[in-house]
């Protein structure tokens, strides 16, 4: 469960990329975060994950104020999982080694059990257990990145463009994998996506970020029909 209130953050002193963002993701919800390139979607996820400290505002995970909890404590103490936009697996390591890294602070037996559980959920991982992650297809690699983040049993999961660069067929496979998480694990999922229509299709709700603020939010089905959504998108893209 994630609550973000009035969040302001940025990189360069005096320039805010996020400017008073409010957002909520409940248990077992899939919520999409949409918006044009460069509007601050990854910045928001990095801020929630603790790579970037907020300048103002609140970040609350499962009832705890974690805005200033450093990134290396977020997985263990705050039950957060994060799949970044790029470099989200260790290419030279095997599937198994990547999963073991995801569960590195579990006891060996629990780690093994969790790995088996995730291999049941995603059979492709069992079939490729000893292959190098770099040898997987794009879709398989995203599933490995998901599973790596799930090893520690997160209550909240942040996904940054899980379908980037995938074919439509692969996108479907990865989105199926994301829906499996909701079904089996009751995790709160916040997913940044460029493929807005497909993302809304598997989401409960969505937020559209524009100029560092939430410009539009609501039920995913309602947003699919919303003309303002298309204007925001097409307007921003044409510019
Ligand atoms: N590490 C960084 N240092 C300085 N500026 C950055 C950094 N990362 C991103 N930015 C800037 O922040 C803005 C938002 O970027 P980002 O959050 O990656 O957008 P999105 O994920 O929506 O495409 C962009 O203008 C980008 O150039
Ligand atoms: Mg991004």
Q: Is the pLDDT reported for residue 139 higher than 70?
A: yes
Q: Is the pLDDT reported for residue 50 higher than 80?
A: yes
Mean pLDDT, the chain, as a whole number?
A: 93
| Cα–Cα distance for residue pair 106/87, rounded to 1 Å | 23
Distance 26 CA to ligand 2 centre (A): 23
Looking at domain 2-85+154-238, which CATH architecture does it have?
3-Layer(aba) Sandwich (3.40)
- Domain residue limits, the chain: 2-85+154-238
54-102 pLDDT, tens digit per residue, is 999 999 999 999 999 988 899 889 999 999 988 899 999 999 999 999 9
| Cα–Cα distance for residue pair 38/213, rounded to 1 Å | 13
Distance 43 CA to ligand 2 centre (A): 7
pTM for the model stands at 0.94
List the shell of residues around ion ligand 2, using CB closer than 5 Å. 42
> pLDDT-based confidence at 229, cuts 50/70/90?
confident
- Helix or strand run (H / E) with residue 60: strand 56-61
Nearest ligand, measured from the Cα of 46? 1
């Amino acid at each position: 469960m994630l609550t973000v209130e009035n969040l302001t953050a940025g990189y360069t002193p005096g320039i805010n990329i996020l400017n008073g963002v409010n957002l909520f993701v409940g248990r077992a919800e899939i919520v999409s975060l949409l918006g044009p390139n460069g509007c601050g979607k990854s910045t928001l996820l990095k801020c929630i994950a603790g790579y970037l400290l907020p300048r103002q505002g609140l970040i609350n995970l499962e009832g705890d104020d974690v805005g200033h909890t450093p990134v290396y404590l977020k997985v263990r103490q705050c039950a957060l999982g994060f799949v970044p936009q790029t470099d989200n697996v260790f290419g030279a390591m095997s599937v198994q080694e990547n999963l073991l890294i995801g569960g590195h602070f579990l006891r060996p037996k629990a780690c093994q059990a969790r790995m088996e559980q995730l291999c049941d959920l995603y059979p492709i991982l069992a079939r490729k257990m000893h292959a190098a992650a770099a040898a997987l297809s794009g879709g398989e690699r995203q599933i490995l990145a998901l599973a790596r983040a799930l090893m520690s049993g997160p209550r909240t999961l942040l996904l940054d463009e899980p379908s980037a660069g995938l074919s439509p067929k692969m996108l479907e496979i990865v989105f199926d994998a994301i829906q499996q998480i909701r079904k089996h694990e009751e995790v709160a999922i916040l997913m940044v996506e460029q493929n807005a229509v497909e993302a809304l299709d598997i989401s409960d709700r969505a937020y559209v970020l524009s100029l560092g603020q939430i410009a539009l939010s609501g039920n995913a089905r309602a947003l699919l029909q919303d003309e303002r959504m298309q204007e925001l998108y097409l307007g921003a893209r044409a510019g």
